[in-house]
Amino acid sequence: MTHDFPIIAFAALLGLAVGSFLNVLIHRLPIMIEQSWADPASTDAVTLNLVFPASHCPACQHPLAWYDNLPLLGFVLLRGRCRHCSSRISWQYPLIELLTSALFVWSLLTHAHWPVAMAWAGFSAALLALAVIDARTTWLPDAITQPLTWGGLIAAALGWTPVSLPASLGGAVTGYLCLWSVYWLFLLLTGKEGMGHGDFKLLAALGAWFGWQQLLAIVLIASVSGLLVALVLMWRKQLPNNRQIAFGPFLALAGAWLLFFGAPTSLTL
C-alpha cells in the first residue's frame, strides 16, 4: 500500500516507543507474577509494577535520565553501557525496539487503513513479547494472552481481519480445546505435564486472529520448528535436564509465518 513518508516515519517512531514498553513488560511482568504468589510479609523486595520504580540500571540501580531512556537513541549515545557504572546494556533492548518498529512499518505498508494496520501491529508486538517471555521463563502470562484473544475476536467483528466472527470464535474455542485435550491425554498416559496452560490460551488467541481453518497449519509449523530446535539442542547437548523446551515461541513463530506468508493451501482446513 502507498503511504506518505511522514506517516511511515510516525509508524516507525511509534513502533520504537512500543518496543521500549515491551522491554519493560518482558522484564517486569514475570517478576510481578512471582511477587503476586509470594507472601507480602515474607519478602522485603520492592513491589514492582509497569510504572514504579522508574527505569534504572539493573547493575548499579541508578535511575536513568530521560535522555538515556530514549528508544534506541539512548543505547547508541551510551554506546551500550551504563553511564554510571559502565556495565553492559543487553542487546535485547535495541533489538526488541528495532524489531517492533519494523513490524509497525510492515503492518502499515501492507494494510491500507490505519486502524487495521495498528491492530496487526499490536498483534505482532504481543506475539513478540510472549515469545521472549516464554523463552526466558516458560510462562505465557494471561495478562497478554487473554487480551490478545479478545483483540482477535473484536478485530474479526469489526472486519479488520480476513476471517468472519464465527470463524474467529470457532478458532479460539477449538484452539484452546485442541491443546487442552493433548495436555490431559499426555498427563493420563504418563503422569507428567507435557505443556503449560498458557499454550492453550496462545493457540486460542491465534485461532481468534486467523480462524479455525488455519489451526492445523499453526500446530504443524510450531511442532516441526520446535522439534528441529530440540534436535539441535540435543545434538549440542544443551537440552534442559527435564528435556522440555518452551512451546510458546514456536506457536508465535507459526503465527508470524501465517502473518507474513500465509498458510500452505494443503494445510488449510
Strand ranges in the chain using DSSP code E only, listed in sequence order: none
53 preceded by cis ω (within 30°)?
Answer: yes
Please tell me which residue, 75 or 145, carries the higher pLDDT value. Answer: 145
Q: Global pTM?
A: 0.92
Indicate the pLDDT class of residue 42, thresholds 50, 70 and 90.
Answer: low
Beta bridge partners of 88: 81
Q: Are 143 and 268 in contact (CB under 8 A)?
A: no
What are the grid coordinates assigned to 150, written together?
479478545
CA distance 72 to 79: 11
| C-alpha closest to that of 103 among 77, 129, 80 | 129
Q: Write out pLDDT tens, residues 189-241.
A: 888 877 888 999 999 999 999 999 999 999 999 999 999 998 998 888 887 76
Amino acid identity for residue 238 in this structure = Q
| C-alpha closest to that of 207 among 172, 247, 259, 159 | 172
Q: Please give the pLDDT value at position 49.
A: 80
